[in-house]
Amino acid sequence: EVQLVESGGGLVQPGGSLRLSCAASGFTFSSYVMNWVRQAPGKGLEWVSAITGSGDGTYYADSVKGRFTISRDNSKNTVYLQMNSLRAEDTAVYYCAKRGSGSLSSYFQHWGQGTLVTASS
Amino acid sequence: DIQMTQSPSTLSASVGDRVTITCRASQSITTWLAWYQQKPGKAPNLLIYKASSLESGVPSRFSGSGSGTDFTLTISSLQPDDFATYYCQQYNSYPYSFGQGTKLEIK
SS3 category, A90: helix
- Whole-number mean pLDDT of chain B? 97
pLDDT at B80: 95
SS3 category, A30: helix
CA distance B68 to B51: 10
Nearest CB to B44 within list A45, A60, A104: A45
pLDDT at A64: 98
CA distance A118 to B35: 28
Give yes or no for B87 touching A (CB within 8 A). Answer: yes
CA distance B87 to A43: 12
Mean per-residue pLDDT, B18-31: 98
Would you say B37 and B21 are in contact if contact means Cβ atoms under 8 Å apart? no
Q: Which residues of B touch A106 (CB under 8 A)?
A: 32, 91, 96
CA distance A49 to A114: 15
* Mutation site for B-interface testing, chosen from A106, A110, A113 by largest number of B Cβ within 10 Å: A106
pLDDT at A115: 98
pLDDT class for B22, splitting at 50, 70, 90?
Answer: very high
Q: Which chain B residue is nearest to residue A114, measuring alpha carbons?
A: B43
Start-end of H helices in chain A: none
pLDDT at A102: 77
Give yes or no for B34 touching A (CB within 8 A). Answer: yes
pLDDT at A104: 78
Nearest CB to B97 within list A47, A106, A107: A47
Give which of A90, A106, A108 is closest to A98, Cα–Cα.
Answer: A108
SS3 category, A31: helix
Q: Is the pLDDT of residue A97 over 80?
A: yes
